[in-house]
Amino acid sequence: MSAPHLWLRAEQRDNETRVGLMPEGAAALIADGFRVTVEASDSRVVPTSAYAEAGCEIAPEGSWPDAPDQAIIFGLKELPEDGTPLRHRHIMFGHAFKGQSAGRVLLDRLKAGGGTLLDLEYLVDDRGRRLAAFGYWAGFAGAAVALRCWAAQQRGEEAAAVAPYPNADKMKQALRAELDAAADRRPTALIIGALGRVGTGARDLCTAMDVPVTAWDMDETAHGGPFPEILDHDIFLNCILAGPDTPVFVTVDAPEAPRALNVIGDIACDPDGDYNPVQVYDRVTVWESPALRVHDDPPLDVMAIDNLPSMLPLESSEDYSRQLLPVLKALKDDPGGVWARARATFKEHV
């Protein structure tokens, strides 16, 4: 078979500067016979010139709808919601397979155009384990924003807008100063999913900030609830990918219950999905306003930003691209492997 044509599109979502393929990875694909086209982008964390130097073809920003039929369109976050039929194969996080309303619209557009979604969340090995994920940096940044929400509460405020950091050290320095100024103690945190990628990142950030952590995983939640221990901690960090067997961690009546809990960091962030285990909110939060106040006295804020790794765009892009590169190489010859499984998942849901 001929080598694939991979088309790296510019991200069109605000506050999204990550990329799933670094220039050195693009060069490796080209050396392996791939054709790689990269759209120009002034917001991408890696300059377009670096891809040109790696041997990539450069296309105008947003030109992917006119790409050749055989091109595989690769991005991270959602496409513009203009309702147009989609005819290409698309690699991205589609958020379309768990009942999300926007995901249903995406599937309708793909069905109308004869396209395919190869969802990055569903690139798994033969045991069902994900082969590449931003999880660690989502957990790391999500814990940081949750702690900022708690610090703001100690000042009698709501959390201010967030912005990217040059690196994790700068993030930790700024957060430590904010916590030290806000209170003479550290909050307690309970993490569910503490053994996974996301939970590990959250634990590492909390440890760096001297925040006491109660670490739960499958064993602690196997009884199915209720989970009153969550209400006994200042902060709850949800770090699991919910499915049909996931219990409810925080019920709708939790805000009115006696509690120490003041901040929920729903790092998994799926309020519109059928399996949402945090039932006190119904929409994601945004960089400009990271905390959704769901109860006033005592306060309860939910942080549910759905592109947290973009707060550390270079580190998260480098890490993810290293994980994904061997999977992208498999596009060249994958009769029954990871990409075949991704196609089967799409066909099942479409």
Give one DSSP letter per residue of 140-191, joined into a string: HHHHHHHHHHHHHHHTTS-PPP----SSHHHHHHHHHHHHHHH-SSPPPEEE
Lowest mean pLDDT among 136-145, 270-279, 285-294: 270-279
The answer to whether residues 264 and 300 touch, using CB atoms and an 8 Å cutoff, is yes
User: Residue 220 has which token pair?
Assistant: 């602690």
End-to-end, the C-alpha distance of the chain in Å comes to 27
Residue 1 pLDDT greater than 60, yes or no:
no
Q: Is residue 74 exposed (0-12), middle (13-18) or buried (19+ Cβ within 10 Å)?
A: buried
What CATH superfamily is the domain 5-122+313-349? NAD(P)-binding Rossmann-like Domain (3.40.50.720)
Lowest mean pLDDT among 126-130, 266-270, 272-276: 272-276
Bin 83: left if φ > 0, else alpha if -120 < ψ < 50, else beta. Answer: left
Residue 299 pLDDT greater than 60, yes or no:
yes
CA torsion sign for 112, 284, 259, 240 is: positive
Q: What is the pLDDT of residues 109-133, one digit of tens each?
A: 999 999 999 999 999 999 999 999 9
Question: In which residue ranges of the chain is CATH 3.40.50.720 found?
Answer: 5-122+313-349, 135-311
Residue 323 pLDDT greater than 90, yes or no:
yes
**How would residue 134 be classed by pLDDT, with cut points 50, 70 and 90?**
very high
Return the CATH architecture of domain 135-311: 3-Layer(aba) Sandwich (3.40)
Q: Helices (H) and strands (E) in the chain — how many of each?
A: 9, 12
C-alpha span between 119 and 194 (Å, rounded):
25
Number of residues written out for the chain = 350
Residue 184 pLDDT greater than 90, yes or no:
yes
- Beta-strand relationship, 5-8 and 35-39: parallel
Q: Tokens 């045991």 correspond to what residue?
A: 127
**How would residue 336 be classed by pLDDT, with cut points 50, 70 and 90?**
confident
Greater confidence (241 vs 206) lies with 206
Q: What is the pLDDT of residue 273?
A: 84
The answer to whether residues 54 and 30 touch, using CB atoms and an 8 Å cutoff, is yes
**How would residue 99 be classed by pLDDT, with cut points 50, 70 and 90?**
confident
Q: What angle do CA 3, 6, 10 make, to 5 degrees?
A: 170
Please name every residue paired with 291 in a beta bridge, in sequence order, or none if there are none: 303
Q: What is the pLDDT of residues 24-63, one digit of tens each?
A: 999 999 999 999 999 999 999 999 999 999 999 999 999 9
Q: What is the pLDDT of residue 38?
A: 98
The residues, ordered by sequence, that sit 6+ positions from 92 with a Cβ below 8 Å of its Cβ are 73, 74, 75, 76, 77, 78, 79, 117, 119, 120
Q: Which residues are catalytic?
A: 77, 95
